[in-house]
Chain A
Amino acid sequence: MTSAHPDESVAFTFEGRTLSARPGQSIASAILQSGTPVLTRSFKYRRPRGYTCGYDICGNCPVTVNGLPGVTSCTTPVRGGEVVRRERGWPSTDRDLLRATDLLVRFVPAGFQFRLFRSRPRLAHLAEKVMARIAGAGRFPTPQAARAVRTRTEVDAADVLVVGGGLSGCAAALGAAGSGSSVTLVHPGPLGGRANARDSVVTYDQETAPAAELAGRLASAVLAHRDIRVVDGRVMSYFETGLIPVVADGLVLECRPKHLVVATGSYDVPGLFPGNDKPGVVLADGVSRLLRVDRVVPWRRAVVMTDGDRGSALADQLERAGVEVVAIVVQEGVGDPSEPRPGSAGRQADGDRVLRGTVRAARGARALRAVDVEVEGRVRTIRADLLCVALAPRPANDLALQQQYVAAGTPQAVVGGWAGADLSASTPGLSVVGSAAGWTSEDPDRARAVGAAAGSGQGK
């Protein structure tokens, strides 16, 4: 629930400070806005971690909220009055003395715990106790926090379950409901998903509109439809007999749909270079979400890294928000060089800030200060506080894959065997739509048609 007056700001406490936020703005965005880039530390080497993906995928932003540990701060909205604290680091998450483990990595390589004190059982036990104190993340929940997340169980009887409420998911739900089926649509947060933060133009039902505007229209249609139940939650897993439990606020919904439509979108892919986990290195959809949904601009100078046409769109969004885009690095050696991706040469308007090269490193102690870019064999260091990683995304088809593994009866069967396969073509009762199915551009009309076929019992 957001406040009745959407323009009024709400306040919460962050490690003793009072921060304000617009209602609905994410906790992470409010912390970033206050000038704090480090949200947590990595498990063993205590590397600083910050806002990265924007969609509860990467695990770099858990905080403790009102005594409840492990709350994803990039997607959890501020409601007002929360007490928020970070979880790792001693004496604080900002300045962690245990960061020394990363600097001394030569002496504590991966698996060092299995080499410690092998012949000194007493010391080994002591070391293990010390490790236990350092490890962990948040503290054990308070009784109040644990009570607040109690759930009741309910059985959902809808014919069609649509998982994911982006453009494709909403269109599929409308299609299925339009052909007479009862539909449950599960989506975490506001309907529209990543489309809410995009500027691309999409055609649906013979009309062309910006993605965010169309997302708003589809969301209203879905919410108004009497045969569509919208659940703000996430799917737990796909179990034998087709059981798909959904976890929502205070509720576990046991779904056993006749037809499952997977519309879970895509994942942003991280870049591979030293320092790619540094606060300030942010994946493209995370950048868009901060700018367009949370309406926070915590950066001044940006480098955009891309392997295709997403770079220009992100540069535009950043510039419109007042961020100076100092370079767009078009990665070489990604994909098939004989078939350049559309736009990969850079637009005329991008001029000489387009660098054909490779990001070699992200520099900075606690947060990004500069990016090393190699162009024609020479490394240039470019000052920036944002490195936006805009690479071709990967389909988020986990749920569909899980369905295949469960059907096979063993997680050891056919490892990787379904990668790239069209799962909906071969499996009755399962459809995959949108970028989860690897569709390369938004096609809500096609998603609606798939949903309609699923709803009429004709979907394969």
Chain B
Amino acid sequence: MTLPGVAAGPPKAGYDVVVVGAGVQGLATAYELARSGVTDVAVLDRSWPGGGASGRNGEMIRSAFSSREWSQLFDLSLRRFSELSAELDFNILFSPSGYLVLSTTDDELRRQHLVAAKQAEYGVQSEVLDAAEVRRLVPHANPELARGGIFQRRAGFAHHDAVVWGYLRAAARAGVSVFSGVDVHAVLASGGRVTGVRTDHGDIAADVVVNAAGAYSDDLNLTAGVRLPLVKARLEMLVTEPVKPFLRCAVATPHLLGYCHQTARGEFVGGTELPGHDETDSLNTTYHMLRDMATKWVRLFPDLGGVRILRNWAGTVSQAPDLAPVLGEAPGVSGYHLSIAWVYGFMGAPAAGRLLAESIVTGRVDAVMAPFEARRLIEGRSIAESTLVLTTDGRS
């Protein structure tokens, strides 16, 4: 069975650009390359398009972060999300219903005022809500946990599969070849220049190779001799049976290490995390995470206890110590570009795809992308971002 947009037959012996990974990063980058006139592009995936974290994430979108770097990158993404349906000729069900980062203590709420002031400085509009305003916005939330929060009105969520399908079809229309079931074993380089990739379908030559391999991106880097301090992390989510709308906006709660929203179908979708990271390379779900999610979400929305869980799933990512993505050409291997270490990858893909494609085509690195280059990790610098729903494990 061939998916619309997926090429039939084996790949050619060579391309101008080979993108490894047909997730949202790889497809967005390939689409943007084709848009700038580079159409001899192959996207190779060992599984199906969007089969990894692109189809397993919380599909939430915001640009109100505490750091300039994150805010600017993700604000470009947010703007792209609002124009993507028209551009890709595919309704990605982007819902600008708002994104609330919940404060569960008054202390936390006080800090939010400082964060909001910074956001205003970066040109990102957000509002600090007090307890009463949060209760009006999220009436079913436990008032003990809803002390206030930062609300970004034009943020929200989109249908993650639709975004993958939209990019896939648009890229294919523009001439990109997307291959499913092609496993890339190594990046080939010679004299500090990339020459192609080695696959289970033979070697494929390329002037440019883009690593967008998600959880497996570090394994791929090592074959090219690129060493970055990345670790794998396993995350889980759950979805309930559909109910009538009770939660309009996306909600993240650093206190519970959780993020959630209700889809247009009526399902409540949420993920939580435990301190530390789980490096198990397995897509099996675990009972302890199911319990953690169920317990925390019922704490935040007490009446959710009466809604049945439909299913739960796991996904894997690779992440950097500062949890920020790594974007741009790899140090030491020219022609080898990275769009990896994504933890907020779905949210960042439209911006990253555009900026990375631009840098590949023009050789110039945009100021918004520059801070995310791999150099920071080699030099031991990190991007300090304080509003992430993730534990940094004391590693940053």
Q: Does A136 contact B (CB under 8 A)?
A: yes
A133 touches B284 (CB 8 A): no
Is A116's beta carbon under 8 Å from chain B?
Answer: yes
**A348 interface residue per 8 A CB criterion:** no
From A115, A132, A240, B91 is in contact (CB under 8 Å) with A115
A68-B306, A239-B287 known; A114 and B93 CB under 8 Å?
A: yes
The interface bits of chain A over 141-152 (1 if a CB of B lies within 8 angstroms of the residue's CB, else 0) are 111011111100
Among candidates B90, B165, B306, B307, residue contacting A118 with C-beta atoms closer than 8 Å: B90
Contact A121 to B85, CB < 8 A, known contacts A68-B306, A132-B245, A410-B282: yes
Bits for A224-251, please: 1 = Cβ < 8 Å to B, else 0: 0000000000000101100101000000
- Chain B residues with CB under 8 Å of A135's CB are 242, 264-266
Please, which residues of chain B bring their CB within 8 A of the CB of A125? 94-96
Q: Mark B280-319 against chain A: 1 for CB-CB distance below 8 A, else 0.
A: 0011111100000000000000111111100000000000
Q: Does B82 touch A at the CB level, under 8 Å? A: yes
Contact between B91 and A118, CB atoms less than 8 A apart: yes
**What is the size category of the interface that chain B forms with chain A?**
35 or more
Residue of A nearest to B287 (CB): A239
Determine whether A444 belongs to the interface, using a CB cutoff of 8 Å to chain B.
no
Taking CB atoms, residues of chain B closer than 8 Å to A131 are: 264-265
Q: Which of B241, B266, B304 contacts A132 (CB 8 A)?
A: B266
Q: Which of A105-152 contact B (CB under 8 A)?
A: 113-119, 121, 124-125, 128, 131-133, 135-143, 145-150
Q: Within 8 Å of chain B (Cβ to Cβ): is A426?
A: no
A118, B242: Cβ atoms under 8 Å? Answer: no
Chain B proximity mask over A190-220: 1 for CB below 8 Å, otherwise 0: 0000000000000000000000000000000
**A133: which of B93, B245, B263, B308 is its contact (CB, 8 Å)?**
B245
B51 interfacial by beta-carbon distance below 8 Å: yes
- Interface flags for B38-79 (1: CB within 8 Å of A; 0: not) read 000000000100010000000000000000000000000000
User: A69 at interface (Cβ–Cβ under 8 A)?
Assistant: yes
Q: Are B91 and A124 in contact (CB under 8 A)?
A: yes
A5 to B232, CA, bound (A): 61
Q: Using Cβ atoms and an 8 Å threshold, which residues of chain A touch B96? A: 125
A233–B130 CA distance with the chains assembled, in angstroms:
44
- CB A160 to nearest CB in B, in angstroms, measures 20
Task: Indicate if A412 sits at the interface (CB-CB under 8 A).
Answer: yes
Q: With contacts A128-B264, A146-B306 known, is A136 near B242, CB below 8 A?
A: yes
A117: chain B residues within 8 A (beta carbon): 85, 91
In contact, B283 and A146 (Cβ under 8 angstroms): no
B306→A412 contact, CB < 8 A = no
Q: Is the CB of A140 within 8 A of B91?
A: no
Q: Pick the contact of B86: A68, A121, A140, A149 (CB < 8 A).
A: A121
Shortest Cβ gap from B155 to chain A (Å): 13
Partner of B284, one of A116, A148, A245, A409: A409
| Contact A239:B306 (CB < 8 A) given known A70-B241, A118-B86, A138-B243 | no
Contacting pair A114 B86 (CB below 8 A): no
B85 touches A124 (CB 8 A): yes
- The answer, yes or no, to whether A379 is at the interface (CB within 8 Å) is no
Q: Mark A375-405, 1 if CB is under 8 A from B, else 0.
A: 0000000000000000000000000000001
CB of B241 within 8 A of CB of A128, answer no
Q: Is the CB of A411 within 8 A of B245?
A: no
Residues of B within 8 A of A150 (CB): 305
A345 contacts B by Cβ under 8 Å: no
Among A132, A138, A147, A245, find the residue whose CB has the most chain B CB atoms closer than 10 A: A132
- Measured CA separation A128–B284 after assembly (Å): 32
Does residue A453 face the partner (Cβ distance < 8 Å to B)? Answer: no
Residues of A within 8 A of B241 (CB): 69-70, 137
Residues of chain A with a CB closer than 8 A to B282's CB: 240, 409-410
Contact partners of A69 in chain B: CB under 8 A = 241, 243, 306-307
Size category, A interface: 35 or more
Contact A118 B264 (CB under 8 A): no
Given A245-B287, A412-B51: A140 and B303 interface contact (C-beta under 8 Å): yes
Contact A124 B94 (CB under 8 A): yes
Contact of A239 among B242, B283, B285, B304 (CB under 8 A): B285
Whether a CB of chain A sits under 8 angstroms from the CB of B136 is no
Known contacts A114-B162, A239-B287: does B306 contact A136 (CB below 8 Å)? no
Q: Complex Cα distance A158/B114, Å?
A: 56
How does the 8 Å CB contact mask read for B74-105 relative to A, with 1 for contact and 0 for none? Answer: 00000000110110011111111000000000
Let me know if A406 is at the binding interface, CB within 8 A. yes
Please give, as numbers and ranges, the residues of chain B lying within 8 Å of A245 by CB-CB distance. Answer: 287
A125 to B155, CA, bound (A): 12
Q: What B residues does A68 contact at CB under 8 A?
A: 306
* CA distance in complex: A70, B162 (Å): 27
Asked if B395 is at the interface of the complex by the 8 Å CB criterion, the answer is no
Given the complex, which residues of A lie within 8 Å of B242, measured CB to CB?
A: 43, 135-137
Known: A135-B266, A138-B243, A240-B284. A70 touches B94 (CB 8 A): no
Give Cα A157–Cα B204 distance, bound, in whole angstroms.
Answer: 56
Q: Which residues on the A side are within 8 Å of B287 (C-beta)?
A: 237, 239, 243, 245, 254
Q: Given the known A-B contacts A68-B306, A114-B91, A128-B264, are A138 and B85 also in contact in the complex, defined by CB atoms under 8 Å?
A: no
- B264 and A70: CB pair below 8 A? no
Nearest CB of A to B216, in Å: 13
Chain B residues lying within 8 Å of A43, measured Cβ to Cβ, are 242, 265
Find out whether the CB atom of B85 lies under 8 angstroms from the CB atom of A118: yes
Judging by beta carbons under 8 Å apart, are B302 and A136 in contact? no
What residues of chain A lie closer than 8 Å to B307, measured between beta carbons?
Answer: 69-70, 140-141
9 A-B pairs within 8 Å (CB atoms) are namely A68-B306, A113-B264, A121-B82, A121-B94, A136-B243, A137-B243, A141-B303, A142-B306, A149-B305
Extra inter-chain contacts (10) besides given A137-B243, A410-B284, A411-B284, CB under 8 Å: A67-B306, A70-B307, A113-B91, A114-B93, A121-B82, A124-B93, A132-B262, A136-B265, A409-B282, A412-B283
Mark A residues whose CB is within 8 Å of B: 43, 67-70, 113-119, 121, 124-125, 128, 131-133, 135-143, 145-150, 237, 239-240, 243, 245, 254, 405-406, 409-412
Please name the 3 residue pairs, one residue from A and one from B, whose CB atoms are nearest each other, closest first: A141-B306, A136-B266, A146-B306
